[in-house]
Structure 1
Amino acid sequence: MSHIAVERNRRRQMNEHLKVLRSLTPGFYIKRGDQASIIGGAVEFIKELHLVLRSLEAKKKRRRISLSPSPSPRSLLPVTPPPEVPSSAVSRALELGACCSSPVADIEVKISGCNVILRTLSKRIPGQAARVISVLEKLSFEVLHLNISTMEDTVLYSFVIKIGLDCKLSVEDLALEVQKCFSQEVAH
């Protein structure tokens, strides 16, 4: 085969694989149809799936060990960063993030570029996502993306939020405000 035919075959295979990858990735992860957006969206989706997988593995391990009948949601959060993240990036992320834990919910806030990533892990509370969104909007944030992962009676909300011009909160303050939203619901 000539070099041109080999290259044409490689491009055809690449396009077919990209079509499959796009079909397997939920649409809200892919902003545009170009190759970089498809691959970037698939990477984000896989990261979310890894989080869910770790949570399920932790739950399975807890069931085997049976240390307590009702474990804290904190035990479902991953303890170590994914291996594909360099340690220098982890230390930078820790400087730009905050965590807030309680018996009701665990909150993690990180700055990612010009957006904020907010993750909450708690027992399932009906209407909680709407309440968190309401709190975020009152605090001058705009929700760009929300992913909800559930495992029996536990739910992981992953928000990507845009910082509004009027927002004057630190990541620590944001984590505490969202934590209050969960605590108030339990008090009712």
Structure 2
Amino acid sequence: MKLCSITFSYFFTSPFSFSSFRSRLFMASTDRNNPNNVIDVEVSMADCNARIKIRCRKFPKQLRKIVSGLHSLRLTVLHLNVSTAHEIALYSFTLKVEEDCGLCSEEEISRGVYQLLCRIQEEAFSV
């Protein structure tokens, strides 16, 4: 059996059954055609767990600030995956939504994470 013929799809399955709802928000930009100015947030939920995918412009110490911000929103990181391509960072989080988290739906979490990312990027690029 060839190694390249083995599929690893089973390896990437999640123990949670996530809903199919997707919420996307884009940062307003003067140059909408520039992918470096886009914040893309996608959220799906199952019970008290959320899967968040983020695409945004990368800069130093960004991941630390995102994780810290998620904790301040009462979202605990269970799993994290990071990929980068040129000036773009792709983050995938599996999070536990804590009981005292004020964000209850996919839309609320998406909006909260989007606002967090906007603040982080404003701080980074205003220096």
Q: Partner of 1:98 in structure 2?
A: 23
Residues in 2 aligned to 1:43 and 1:133: alpha-carbon distance in whole angstroms: 22
Q: Partner of 1:126 in structure 2?
A: 60
Instruction: From the two aligned structures, give the one with the greater strand fraction.
Output: 2
| 1:185 Cα deviation after fit | 2.8
Instruction: From the two aligned structures, give the one with the greater helix fraction.
Output: 1
Amino acid aligned to 1:148: V
Q: Which runs of 5+ in 2 are unaligned?
A: 28-36
Residues in 2 aligned to 1:176 and 1:140: alpha-carbon distance in whole angstroms: 14
SS at match of 2:20: helix
How many residues in Structure 1 have an aligned counterpart in Structure 2?
A: 107
> Rg larger in 1 or in 2?
1
Segments of 4+ in structure 1 off by > 6 A?
none
Amino acid aligned to 1:160: T
Q: Which gives a bigger RCO, structure 1 or 2 (Cα 8 Å, sep 6+)?
A: 2
RMSD: 2.9
Q: 1:117 to 1:145 in 2, by over 3 A?
A: same
Whether the 8 Å contact between 2:45 and 2:51 is mirrored in structure 1 is: yes
| 1:187 Cα deviation after fit | 2.4
Q: TM-score, with normalisation over the residues of structure 2?
A: 0.69
Aligned-pair identity (%): 27
Q: TM-score, with normalisation over the residues of structure 1?
A: 0.49
Q: Which runs of 5+ in 1 are unaligned?
A: 1-12, 26-38, 46-88
Whether the 8 Å contact between 1:104 and 1:182 is mirrored in structure 2 is: no
Structure 2 residue aligned with 1:116, among 44, 50, 55?
A: 50
1:40-51 paired onto structure 2 within 5 Å: 40=10, 42-44=11-13
SS at match of 2:23: strand
- 1:165 partnered with 2:99: yes
